[in-house]
Amino acid sequence: MCGIVGYAGYGDAKTFLLSALHDLEYRGYDSAGIAAIKGNGITTIKRAGRVSALEETINGQFGQATTGIGHTRWATHGAPTDTNAHPHLSYDGKVAIAHNGIIENHGRLRAKLEADGIEFASDTDSEVVAHLIARHMQAGDSLLSATKKASRRLKGLSVILAISADEPDAVVGIRIGYAGSLMLGKSGDGWILASNAAAMPRDVNEVVHVDHCEAVRISPDDAMIVDVAGKLVEKEPVKLLPGSRISEINEHAHFMHKEISEQAAAVQGAMRGRVDFSDMRIDIPELDMLPAKLDRIVLAGMGTSHFAGMAGARRIERLARIPTSIEYAGELADRDPVMGERDLLVAVTQSGETYDTLVAIEKAKSVGSTVAVVTANVHSEASRIADVAVDIGSGVEVAVPATKTFINTMLVLYMIGLQLGRDAGRLSDAEFERHIESIVSLPGAINRTLGQEAEIEALARERFDGVTNMLILGRGDLYPVALEGALKMKETAYIHAEGCSASEMKHGINALVEPSTPTIALVPKNGELRTKMLTSIYEVQSRSGEVIAVAHEGDIEVEAIADGLIPIASEDEEHSPFLMTIPLQQLAYHTALARGIDPDRPRNLAKTVTVA
């Protein structure tokens, strides 16, 4: 989950590393640090807190250093303190390392090193790596050889960067399993290793991926990748897509606000090149690589990706008439599912690096199932190991709470269901055209719904600032939206919010209803589920609960019975999951601000989850 970056070149290492760490901070922001070769030794500066705290304390201490590594941390072992921040120095001060992952046998390694007289400066599992590399180098190994030997003693998944005062122009990296990506890029003044393309300078247009059990050594003029046996590995570079880098925040106070506000443009990114209104056609070329006949589709994801997958599973099954289910990727990875060659796993992962989802992919592939990944990061590990990778077209999302990636993922899964259904002859021309028209009109409806932000902000400040608990109710296609809305409140505003199926109210949830616990009810425009949701509103109110309804604009019946109404600006029922998501995002954002919380960087969380 941490962000790591290394530089070896002719430029100012400190300036590059600080810039890269700012771009990688969404991966972890408990602490940050830089280690660079200065003169005959290594200078290390690290601080608890954000990268800005590190930047404020450097004050020219790195001089003209041209080789270094940087790290921004999400803590797993040891509190987020200056001492536990990375990079870590070896006992002789000659080696510094930055590490992403977990070393499962660190306790045993630490005990042995301490028995040999080595004193530890931190509580982390990572520090053992620096000491192991230093011992191998003292025995005569090069930095590359010493790092490889040290890695063989580690259990668990890791990505490691290392520098040594004895090789002042080199950075070595090694990757062991799914602890995040490691990629190599050539800039105009040097070589770069990073855990994500976001850290690459603008003049880097292509990267080379370092795979499991591969090591890489960079210097100002050269880079090489070797396998575990030391054999040179030749690889073709991969071009970076335009949406791989972080955009400017511009006039927005936070990236979360920016990403909520740009959702109309984001969904157009998902549609671009795929939806043809004039010919009434959807064409996602990657789907042509799927088997012609599928017995079953299983979607899997974690967090927001899981809820987007839940919404997508409902649409795919309804449109394609293929049995479709949704699983938490971590639960799928932890059991022995009955899957086979005519099953399709759709792995939903915004980052493409989520550990549980990667393990689920491997499990599905091991039994012969086809795997498609739906992701915002086509340069990710998931994209590379799946049979098919579908870009959701949102570009990079910086705020830890997902917003535009949720809506784009739902839309791409909707389009997948339409294409599968049309190809199988399960949708009439009229049905298909109606869905195309709905998709094409979605950006305008999103913009209209976004325009109600002032009312949402007022509601957040007047009603939700002091709330401790709340309920969000939905049914059918709106149940995943209720779950996602509750997650936004939890992670952004630190409110204990429960997303519930309204069908479950009588089975225990009614016990939570009281005047101090507001309920948000997501009410569809038509059908049987609308009637049932209206009944749920009455049930909550009969127990002295306050209900704020999210409903279609002009819904007089809902407005008459609810204690408050948030309208969505569309008559199209197909728009409901997308549009009802938006006020829940805005409500979470503005409630966080009212409570003095930074919505971009919630406590204890990170954007990319690369550990179990």
- Report the catalytic residues: 2, 607
Give the E-state strand segments of 39-189 in sequence order. Answer: 41-48, 67-73, 88-89, 95-101, 158-164, 167-176, 183-187
Residue in 485, 538, 482, 534 with CA at minimum distance from that of residue 510: 538
CA dist., res. 119 & res. 116, Å (int): 9
State the CB neighbour count (10 A cutoff) for residue 515: 9
Residues forming beta bridges with residue 208, ordered by sequence position: 184
CA dist., res. 369 & res. 548, Å (int): 44
Rg (CA), the chain: 25
Please report which helix (H) or strand (E) contains residue 49, including its range.
none
CA dist., res. 195 & res. 24, Å (int): 8
DSSP letter string over 396-411? ---SSS-SHHHHHHHH
Classified as helix, coil or strand, 597 is: coil
Report the half-sphere exposure of 172 (CA within 13 A, side-chain side): 27
Q: CA dist 454 to 156, 549, 594, Å?
A: 49, 17, 14
Collect all residues with Cβ–Cβ distance below 8 Å to 385 and sequence separation of at least 6.
358, 361, 362, 365, 371
CA dist., res. 520 & res. 97, Å (int): 48
Contact status, residue 183 vs residue 201, Cβ threshold 8 Å = no
